Chain A
């Protein structure tokens, strides 16, 4: 059972987040994942190992290849992270409250 902490630190790296976004499009081999990044296959493999240990991806064996896909558990774990996203959005909208208050006070001044 992967821990939430392992998943958190696995996702702290932008390349690993990009790899997950790529896998959201479907299963891919190391070579296919490495292609858009200016990164060597061993480099990508290291990131995949972190993601696999965090339980965010699963890999199967197909001849000499080991294609990767998002783990079903990644989806349910990510649901638990909704709270975090909620906080980021809340911050944006708190700021929007200030912008709206400013707009309304300008409008009132304009009417005077």
Chain B
């Protein structure tokens, strides 16, 4: 049973929703404090985030670097546009593979939901083709994770 939904919307958007059993303040902090981000935003098992810059103020810089522990890795840079503690984050990000991919504009909302939080993250890409490419490159990590799970089951 997955609590996550991920859908494309229109030509340029991707919308992710997820509920958490913690108040918006905690979920917001886990999205803006480097020491917390480094604990969960890791993708497949075995990956780490050795570098996490997250200057949570308008114009503040974002830089996440991921490593697979085998010499491989990639990074993401971005800037914060707007922050409303503990309900809304607007930022721009781009993957580097290693050339920069097109900008992804991301709006993340945290709303009280009974005793927890409903997170809604809307990504906006420049066009349908860019969105496709982004999903294609993100997919790789998901594939790796499912292969690992498969190996564990066999």
Contacts and interface: CB of A to CB of B under 8 A. Distances in A.
Contacts of A47: none
Nearest to B146: A87
Contact of A21 (B97, B127, B139): B97
Contact of B44 (A20, A36, A88, A96): A88
Interface residues of A, number: 40
Interface in A90-104: 90-93, 95-101, 103-104
Instruction: Give the most central of B44, B74, B133: most A CB within 10 Å.
Output: B133
Contacts, number: 139
A100 B30 contact: yes
A65 to B, nearest CB: 20
Interface in B91-145: 95, 97-99, 101-102, 127-143, 145
Interface residues of B, number: 49
Interface in A58-103: 70, 74-75, 78-79, 81-93, 95-101, 103
B86 interface: no
A81 B6 contact: no
A85 B135 contact: yes
Interface in A1-44: 8, 11-12, 14, 17-18, 20-25, 36
Interface of B: 2-4, 6-8, 16, 18, 20-22, 26-27, 29-30, 36, 39-45, 74, 95, 97-99, 101-102, 127-143, 145-146
Given A24-B132, A89-B6, A104-B22, 11 more contacts: A12-B140, A21-B95, A78-B136, A78-B139, A81-B139, A82-B135, A89-B142, A95-B40, A96-B27, A103-B26, A104-B26
